[in-house]
Chains A and B, each alone.
Chain A
């Protein structure tokens, strides 16, 4: 495809994207357009994905836009300031706003934390939710009994109301609760419920599993849910900076640490399944002490940690 044809295609894809976001969306006509050429779907992907990545922080702030120098300034100094401003704005916006349109529905909004950050959000009916780091949650202004855990970890403290159970969805996992405290983790394919007080009903594709205080449920992407037991105190250890495990794969520990520390903790692929039992204190020495407790070494690579076998030195 030549450059002009590509630009035309992109312009069409943009026009469709704009139309589909509005009230007068004609999806039938869109399907017909797509069917005209397979390249059209790709062009539309590029537009829709670019739009999805667009954050409010990317927009020049109106008050500052008046000072063209600051935003569009050509000196590297000004550019640094603009970048710094955008970065700071991004951090705040990640924490405060999020992307409204991917959340389907006008009253949905996102509450999110950056890695290493904790936050408590009210659910509007006297209930509340505590977010661990690197967590995204979608809430509904019109429905305080709905929440979606997009990714991360959160503890829900739910006011009792048997007539209106709180429903938390996480992919195809569904947790229903009438008044209790429970902790959820959704991280890649891993989904874990830990019930601290009261009881919940877990549901996936119609198979309901009731869970009482002290019980945990772990479900993999494909596998069946496995019910277990855990000390309720340990379930919300992340809130006190204390993570406890019993025969947990090292990869799981690393993911939890990444979330809590705000630093990527990677594991040598050979070691990912290594079982770990014990507690980890979330502090600056967490990664090195974890590694040395296992007879491994932790190495800093740029901004992240890598846990690997000790004898990695050239032989």
Chain B
């Protein structure tokens, strides 16, 4: 175990980079007072981290902060949808009010999965293959380029195309069905 990378080290690094992380959170649309809370959450979270090796501790902190923002956006969207879902339930239709896989959610997840699956199936096989290596197998772009004997920018182009399709499919689904998506607490100034 590398002492530099113990959770104590990460916490020290967080304190050191507090101002920069706050600036990041505000740029991500988190109101300044909530940004403070979020950093506090992050600090507490580091307590539970095993002291394993982390290659880029600073990037790791940014990533964790970003994940917290995304988690909040997701659950905020769900909370605001709960009332709507209640009405929907009364009307006898399915609901998406929850943050765990209920029977309805499994159905909705299936539907979403099928839609994204269709979208991916429309892509050239090569693009899907590259996307899979990157997204599922977590192979760095450089290695994918080497594996396939193509340039880094070609890999990037394939990934860009694949993500476009995935994002469009999800946006379409959200337009059809009110999503757990809209961020709250955004400063609209």
Q: Which A residues fall within an 8 A CB radius of B?
A: 10-11, 14-15, 17-18, 20-23, 25, 27-28, 30-31, 34-35, 38, 41-42, 44-60, 62, 65, 71-72, 79, 82-83, 86-87, 90-91, 94, 100-102, 104-107, 114-115, 134, 136, 140, 142-143, 145-146, 148, 151-152, 167, 169, 172, 174, 187-188, 205, 258-259, 262-264, 266, 269, 301-304, 306
B60 x A104 contact (CB < 8 A):
yes
A60 x B117 contact (CB < 8 A):
yes
A115 in contact with B103 given A45-B70, A83-B114 (CB within 8 Å): yes
A115 x B101 contact (CB < 8 A):
yes
Q: In this assembly, does B12 line the interface, its C-beta being within 8 Å of a C-beta of chain A?
A: no
6 contacts between A and B (CB under 8 A): A20-B63, A30-B24, A59-B120, A59-B132, A115-B103, A142-B52
* Minimal Cβ-Cβ distance residue in B for A11: B160
A interface SS class = helix
Count chain A CB atoms within 10 A of each CB in B23, B44, B93, B128 and give the residue with the most: B44
Contacts of B128 in A (CB 8 A): 59-60, 65
A264 x B98 contact (CB < 8 A):
yes
Q: Which B residues fall within an 8 A CB radius of A?
A: 20, 23-24, 27-29, 41, 44-45, 47-50, 52, 54-56, 58-60, 62-64, 66-67, 70, 73-74, 86, 89-90, 92-95, 98-107, 109-110, 112-114, 116-118, 120-122, 125, 128-129, 131-132, 134-136, 138, 140-141, 156, 159-160, 163-164, 166-167, 169-171, 181, 183, 186-188
B114 x A82 contact (CB < 8 A):
yes
